[in-house]
Amino acid sequence: MLADKTVRDLLAAFASSDPTPGGGSAAALTSAVGASLLMMVAALPKTRSNSDQDRAALSSATSSLTGIREQLTEAIDADTAAYDQVVGAYKLAKGSDEEKAARTAAIQAALRAATDVPLRVMRWSAQALDAATIVAAHGNPAASSDVGVAVALLRAGLEGARLNVDVNLSGIRDERYSSAVASEVRELVERVAAGNGDDGR
């Protein structure tokens, strides 16, 4: 699994001539690192005011971020698997009408799966940015640069995931599904652009 590789081995995998892991996995990894940085800041002994209110807020943020980071970590491999499914679907036989129909159905199913993974990465990245606002407000101000880096990574991960959603969505014929996904993507992008995930500086 990609998520179990060392940093050097994972970077080598991204740098190889193989199409996977690609941008979708990189986006998930980027956001996972951002979430991890927020968890580090939330775990520091010193908070903004060393109050019980700070510690309660940071504990709640950590609880959310723990689940988000795990989901993002799993998405690193899930995105690669989804891409491989798309490639496999395009390689199916298309000699007879029955084969063509089966191939088309397989491609559409694979494209939906390949869209759903980065869409979930977008959602989790946005949720982590919500937590970043809490960490920035209650965490140790000496770690504000770490929060800022985390926010930058999460925004980059969300944008990278959006690019993958868009490219896969363009091949999907189900207009109702495509419209719903496009609408959610716009909402998530606008939410982040509006300042979600203030780094507190």
What are the φ and ψ backbone dihedral angles of 195, each rounded to 5 degrees? 115, 10
Ranges under pLDDT 50 in the chain: 200-201
Q: Specify burial of residue 130 (Cβ count, 10 A radius: 0-12, 13-18, 19+).
A: middle
Residue 112, both tokens: 């939906």
Domain boundaries, the chain: 2-193
pLDDT given for residue 199 in this prediction: 56
d(CA 53, CA 32): 27
Q: Specify burial of residue 38 (Cβ count, 10 A radius: 0-12, 13-18, 19+).
A: buried
Residue 17, both tokens: 């001539």
pLDDT given for residue 198 in this prediction: 57
pLDDT given for residue 194 in this prediction: 85
Judge contact between 98 and 161, C-beta under 8 A. no
Judge contact between 89 and 109, C-beta under 8 A. yes
Indicate the CATH number of 2-193 among 1.20.120.680, 3.30.300.30, 3.30.230.10, 1.10.3720.10.
1.20.120.680
d(CA 166, CA 49): 43
Nearest alpha carbon to residue 146 among 44, 11, 53 = 44
pLDDT given for residue 63 in this prediction: 97
Task: Report the chain's terminal Cα–Cα distance, integer Å.
Answer: 37
Measured CA distances, 147 to 22, 55, 106, 128 (Å): 26, 17, 42, 11
**Continuous H helices in the chain:** 7-15, 23-43, 52-90, 97-138, 144-169, 175-193
| Block residue for tokens 């363009």 | 170
pLDDT given for residue 102 in this prediction: 97
